[in-house]
Amino acid sequence: MKIAFIGDIVGSPGRAMIKEHVSKLKREFSIDLVIANGENASHGFGLTQKNAKELFASGVDMITGGNHTWDRKEIIPLFDTMPILRPLNYPEGVEGKGVGFLHVRDESLAVINAMGHFSMPMVENPFIALKGCVQKLRNDGIKNILIDFHAESTAEKRALHMLLKGQVSAIMGTHTHIGTDDLSVQEGTCYVSDVGMSGCRDNVIGMEAQAPLKRFLTGLPASLDVPKKCKKIFQMVVMTLEDGLCKEAFKVRIYEGAEEMFIQKAFYE
């Protein structure tokens, strides 16, 4: 099974890069399934039904979320009709689900979406929730397991890797929008602290720079906005899974207008 994971898709520039690249990359690398974090896909905040349909039509097979999942209330009925996840560790009774399943031929892939604690909304302990969820999946015979850990702190992400390496196929970090260079495969688990966003790269985490600068210079609130024109980037991790273990992994990075894509191979231990 060959799967790909795309980090935070930010606004229409991010969606444009998904539309341009995902389907052809699926063909080029013989990718079976694509999972993407879409909580910023609609003008940087939340996900609309229209934009969800656009991402699925562009080749995405499942969409994960995070702290911006609830920014647009129209997403709530979509949980029942589309393969869209919200973080697993929201309290019991919250709409949606944190685990979803995708299938390729005779194989199943479980996708878990979870959210960290540091600088994030109040949720249940992600480590306890994920440990229990992974154990249940393994007890049920599910071997291929991917986690989107949506967290601010790289320490939280790295600690989760230490807790679950060898038990899951992949732990993909999202939320900070800044790609890290620690892509690795250890004990059959592919890990990266943050995949990095797909969207505008010549600003501040995909948003126009004026509002963040005002916040930092004055301490006053300012509304973030996705630029109408910008230089775009696309980022995706591709993994080959066998019997629940990651055997090969690399990251694809594409800059708008560049003649070639950049490939970063995973470090193996």
CA dihedral of residues 47, 52, 58, 60 (deg, nearest 10): 90
Instruction: For residue 249, give both structure tokens.
Output: 């992994």
Q: Where in 47-161 does DSSP place strands (E)?
A: 62-64, 99-104, 107-115, 144-150
Backbone φ, ψ for residue 183 (5° rounding): -60, 125
Residue 209 lies in a domain: no
- How far is Cα 149 from Cα 175, in angstroms, rounded to an integer? 8
pLDDT of residue 257: 87
Beta carbons of 171 and 164 less than 8 angstroms apart: yes
In-domain check, residue 207: no
Decide if 56 is inside a domain: yes
Query: Nearest to residue 36, comparing CAs of 2, 61, 72?
Result: 61
Which entry of 21, 68, 150, 177 is annotated as an active-site residue?
68
Q: Is 103 a catalytic residue?
A: no
Q: Is residue 222 part of a domain?
A: no
Calpha distance 208→184 (Å, rounded): 32
On whether residue 13 sits in a domain, the answer given is: yes
pLDDT reported for residue 269: 85
Say whether 236 sits in a helix, a strand or coil: strand
169 Cβ contact list (under 8 Å, min separation 6)? 109, 143, 144, 145, 146, 188, 189, 190, 239, 241, 244, 245, 246
SS3 204: strand
Q: Considering its fold, how many domains does the chain have in total? A: 1
| Structural domain contains residue 214 | no
Domain that holds residue 130: 2-200+231-268
- Residue 19 CB-half CA count within 13 A: 13
Give the Cβ contact number of residue 227 at 10 Å. Answer: 17
Q: What CATH code is carried by the domain that includes residue 55?
A: 3.60.21.10
Point out the residues of the chain with pLDDT beneath 50: none
Kindly state whether residue 215 falls inside one of the protein's structural domains: no
pTM for this prediction:
0.96
Instruction: Check residue 70 and give its pLDDT.
Output: 94
The answer to whether position 217 is within a domain reads: no
